[in-house]
Amino acid sequence: MMVARSWVSGFAVGVLIAACSSNPRPDPAAPAADSAAARQRADSLAATARRDSLAAAGRRDALAAVRVREDSLARALAERSRADSVRAQVLRDADSSAATPVATGLDVARSEALAQPVYFDLDRADLPPEAQRLLDDKLAILRAVPRLEVLIEGHCDERGPDEYNLALGNRRAAAVKRYLVEHGVAEARIAVRSYGEERPADPAHGEAAYAKNRRAEFRVTRGAR
């Protein structure tokens, strides 16, 4: 009996060993394959995200370019409208001046001194020394004839956009007025207007003509009597 039990126990142990030895061993290559697949999926997702981001940026840039073009067109239309308005005002002023000339009541010498234009440097509205000398001569006339009222007209040469030249002409006329007011002329006696490049003194194209067109002119709006 003892022998039989020993044989049975030994057989059972053998069966267990055989069963354990029959289990498959884990494949060391499987985790590496899973990791590579995961990296590929991550790379694919990252590439898709980059493409989507670039596409979105491209759409934003395209919309921005459209807005810039629309803004540029709107500015150009506004500038053209202002330029047309100034041209119409120039024609009205010319017709008005021709129809109702103002008698200045000044003698020839004073009339010529008052009519002498004040010239400016390129793209400038400050008064150079020669302009101040001419304005001092005009000051003497305005002080001596307190009833006299004038319009100062600012002008530019043809270079530069219409809108810019209108603003520059206004600054030139305003600089002349400021000088006169600071030296004792009542502000109410002086009006200003800008014609930009619309009334050139010399219609030629060149530096000599441009120098003549960068100016401020005086027009009497109320005479001495």
* Residue 25 confidence (pLDDT): 61
Domain check: are 179 and 154 in the same one?
yes
Q: How does pLDDT run across 3-21, given as a tens digit for each residue?
A: 445 544 555 545 445 555 5
Residue 1, pLDDT > 60, answer: no
End-of-domain residue from the set 54, 69, 101: 101
* DSSP H or E run through 119: strand 118-119
Q: How does pLDDT run across 144-195, given as a tens digit for each residue?
A: 999 999 999 999 999 999 999 999 999 999 999 999 999 999 999 999 999 9
Domain check: are 140 and 94 in the same one?
no
Distance from C-alpha of 99 to C-alpha of 93, rounded to nearest angstrom: 10
Domain check: are 89 and 111 in the same one?
no
pTM higher than 0.85 for the full model? no
Domain check: are 73 and 152 in the same one?
no
Q: How does pLDDT run across 126-150, given as a tens digit for each residue?
A: 999 999 999 999 999 999 999 999 9
Greater confidence (82 vs 1) lies with 82
Residue 177 placed within a domain: yes
Domain check: are 91 and 130 in the same one?
no
Residue 1 placed within a domain: no
* Residue 97 confidence (pLDDT): 55
Domain check: are 154 and 62 in the same one?
no
With vertex at residue 82, the alpha carbon angle to CA 79 and CA 85, rounded to the nearest 5 degrees, is 150
With vertex at residue 84, the alpha carbon angle to CA 83 and CA 85, rounded to the nearest 5 degrees, is 90
Distance from C-alpha of 87 to C-alpha of 165, rounded to nearest angstrom: 13
Q: What torsion, rounded to 10 degrees, do the Cα atoms 177, 182, 183, 189 define?
A: 40
Domain that residue 55 falls in: 46-101
Q: Whole-number mean pLDDT of the chain?
A: 83
Token pair recorded at residue 85: 């308005």
Q: How many domains are there within the chain?
A: 2
Distance from C-alpha of 169 to C-alpha of 139, rounded to nearest angstrom: 21
Question: What's the rounded mean pLDDT across residues 37-47?
Answer: 85
Q: How does pLDDT run across 59-112, given as a tens digit for each residue?
A: 888 888 888 888 877 776 766 676 666 666 665 665 555 556 788 889 999 999
Domain check: are 82 and 125 in the same one?
no
What is the dihedral sign for C-alpha 97, 99, 100, 102?
Answer: positive
Domain check: are 125 and 177 in the same one?
yes
Q: How does pLDDT run across 202-213, given as a tens digit for each residue?
A: 999 999 999 999
Domain check: are 133 and 216 in the same one?
yes
Domain check: are 83 and 187 in the same one?
no
Residue 209 belongs to domain with CATH number: 3.30.1330.60
Domain check: are 183 and 123 in the same one?
yes
Task: Using pLDDT thresholds of 50, 70 and 90, give the confidence band for residue 43.
Answer: confident
